[in-house]
Structure 1
Amino acid sequence: MRFVSLQSKDVINVYDGKKIGYIADIELDWCQKCIRALIVEKMNFFHFFCFFKEPPVLVIPIECVISLKGDVILVNIEQV
């Protein structure tokens, strides 16, 4: 799977059913050649007014990812 195809998917938390945002980046482990975490850009109403600040991000460990199939990425995290 290519990174570009991951960026176009919504990230949904199955703990509360809310949309978290979109994938901004991934954290790689070069020694083991695997993905360690997904870095998700959180979406909110004030996101559009943040011109000079970086958007808030959430680092989700790969152990919390339930599914990468289909049109959405399902994760299970309690705190957002």
Structure 2
Amino acid sequence: MRLVSLQSKDVINVYDGRKIGYIADIEVDWCQRCIQALIVEKINFFHFLCFFKEPPVIVIPIQCVVSLKGDVILVNIEHD
């Protein structure tokens, strides 16, 4: 699976059923050749109004990913 195809999927938290956002990037461990974490850009109303600030992101360890199938990525995390 390519990063581009991951970026088009919604990230949903199964803990509370809310949409977290979209994948902005991934962390890769090049020595072990595996993905360490997904970096998700949080969705909020003020995101479109803030041109000069970086968007808030959340780093989700790969162990918290439940499913990558279908149109969504399901994760199980507790966040604010």
Q: TM-score range by the shorter chain?
A: over 0.9
C-alpha separation in 2, matches of 1:79 and 1:19: 12
Alignment RMSD = 0.5
Q: Deviations over 1:19-74 (max 9, x none)?
A: 00000000000000000000000000011011000000000000000000100000
Identity of aligned residues (%): 85
Q: How many residues align?
A: 80
Match for residue 39 of structure 2?
Answer: 39
- Normalization by structure 1: what TM-score? 0.98
C-alpha separation in 2, matches of 1:50 and 1:58: 18
- Normalization by structure 2: what TM-score? 0.98
The runs of at least 4 aligned residues of structure 1 exceeding 6 Å deviation read none
Letter in 2 for 1:52: F
Match for residue 66 of structure 1?
Answer: 66
2:17 corresponds to 1:17 = yes
C-alpha separation in 1, matches of 2:79 and 2:46: 20
